[in-house]
Structure 1
Amino acid sequence: MPSDLQLKITNTVHRTLLTLTGGRIGNSIFGMPSLQLTTIGRKSGEPRKVMLTAPIIEGDTIVIVASRAGDPTHPAWFLNLRENPNVEVSLRNGPERPMTARVATPDERASLWPRVTTAYKGYAGYQTKTTREIPLVLLTPRS
C-alpha cells in the first residue's frame, strides 16, 4: 500500500506536469480524465488538494473512487468530504467549480461498480486487497 509520503509525491509530480505542460500531460491517467479535488481538512479547516481520476462522467455528475490502491483505510480526502461535502473540482486542469460530494448508496454502487472496473481494471484488484468496501463518490454542481 502507498505511504502518505508516496501519495503526496505522486500528487505533487502530477500537478507539476500539468502546470509545466499547460495541461498537455496529465489530463488523463490510465485512459480516465484526471481532476483536482479540493476538500476542507476535517482537523485543520484548511483546503486540501488531491489529484484523482474520474472513471465515470455523466452530464454534470463525476464519479470518483476512494480506493487508496486497496489500502485498509479510507483516503484522507474521503474522510474530509464526509465531514464537509462542499468541494471544488478542476476537471482536466480546467477552472475550479464548486460541487457537492456524496457517497453512492448501496444500489448506486452496485450499478456503478461494474462500469468503474471496466474503465480501469485496477479498481477490481484494489477491492480484492482490502476488506473494506471501496466507496464511490458522486460529485454534482453546487447550486
Structure 2
Amino acid sequence: MSFNTPAGTRGARVPSGWAFRWLNKLMARRIRRKGGTFMGFNALVLTTVGAKSGLERTTPVGWFPGKDGSWLIVASAAGAAGNPSWYYNLAANPDKVQIEVDGRKTAVVAEQLLGVERADAWQQIIAAAPRFGQYQVKTDRELPIIRLVPRSTQESA
C-alpha cells in the first residue's frame, strides 16, 4: 500500500523546536524504562530511517491494537496542516522500521490503510481516543493511519 497523503492547507502548527525534541527524548526514555501509556493511551517508541538523511530517527507515538497482533498509529501531528516527519520516513523506508513496546524491540513493516480498512480503523481509534477526532477537525488533510506488522509475519504471508 502506498503512502500518499499530501499536506493540507490549514491546521495547527507542526510541533517542532528544541523543546519538542527534548520532550520526545524524555518520553521515549520513559516508555523504554516503564512502558505503559503516554498522554492517556498506549505508547511505543518508533524508530525509522530518515527519508533524506538515512539516519535512524526515534519518536514516541500512541498506538491502538490492530488485527492479527499489529499496531495502528496515526500521523496526526496534533492536527497540523503537514504530516509529521516520521510519516515521510515510513513512506521512504517502510521495511526499515522498528518499534519498542513493553520492553521488547520488534522489526515491523509499515503500511498505510486506505478505503474501508482505514474507515474501520478510524472508528476504532476515535472511540478509544476522541482527541484524534478533534485533531481531524483542525486540519483539511485526512490523517493517515499506519499499520505496523511484525516483519516475520509479513515475510511469511
Q: Between the two proteins, what is the percent identity of the paired residues?
A: 31
* Aligned residue number for residue 4 of structure 1: 16
Kindly report the root-mean-square deviation, in angstroms, between the aligned alpha carbons of the 2 structures.
1.6
- Using the alignment, how far apart are the partners of 2:100 and 2:41 within structure 1? 14
Which letter does structure 1 place at the counterpart of 2:110? A
* TM-score normalized with structure 2 length: 0.81
Answer 1 or 2: higher relative contact order, Cα 8 Å, separation at least 6: 2
* Aligned residue number for residue 131 of structure 2: 122
Tell me the SS of whatever aligns to 1:74: coil
* TM-score normalized with structure 1 length: 0.88
Instruction: Map Cα deviations across residues 43-71 of structure 1 (whole Å, 9 max, x no partner).
Output: 00011001001123444210000000000
Q: Structure 2: give runs of 5+ residues left out of the alignment.
A: 1-12, 153-157
- Using the alignment, how far apart are the partners of 2:133 and 2:83 within structure 1? 16
Which letter does structure 2 place at the counterpart of 1:133? E
Tell me the SS of whatever aligns to 2:104: coil
Which letter does structure 1 place at the counterpart of 2:89? N
Which letter does structure 2 place at the counterpart of 1:123? F
Q: Structure 1: give runs of 5+ residues left out of the alignment.
A: none
- Using the alignment, how far apart are the partners of 2:66 and 2:109 within structure 1? 15
**Structure 1 stretch 48-57 or stretch 78-87: which is displaced more?**
48-57
Q: Which of residues 72, 76, 89 in structure 2 aligns to 1:67?
A: 76
Q: Which of residues 87, 101, 125 in structure 2 aligns to 1:78?
A: 87
* Aligned residue number for residue 101 of structure 2: 91
Instruction: Map Cα deviations across residues 57-99 of structure 1 (whole Å, 9 max, x no partner).
Output: 444210000000000000000110011102001013x221110
Q: Which of residues 108, 118, 121 in structure 2 aligns to 1:112?
A: 121
- Using the alignment, how far apart are the partners of 2:86 and 2:14 within structure 1? 15
> Are 2:47 and 2:99, in contact at CA under 8 Å, matched by a contact in 1?
yes
Is the alpha carbon distance of 1:103 and 1:18 closer, same or farther for their aligned partners in structure 2, counting shifts above 3 Å? closer
- Shift of the alpha carbon at 1:2? 4.7
Moved over 4 A (4+): none
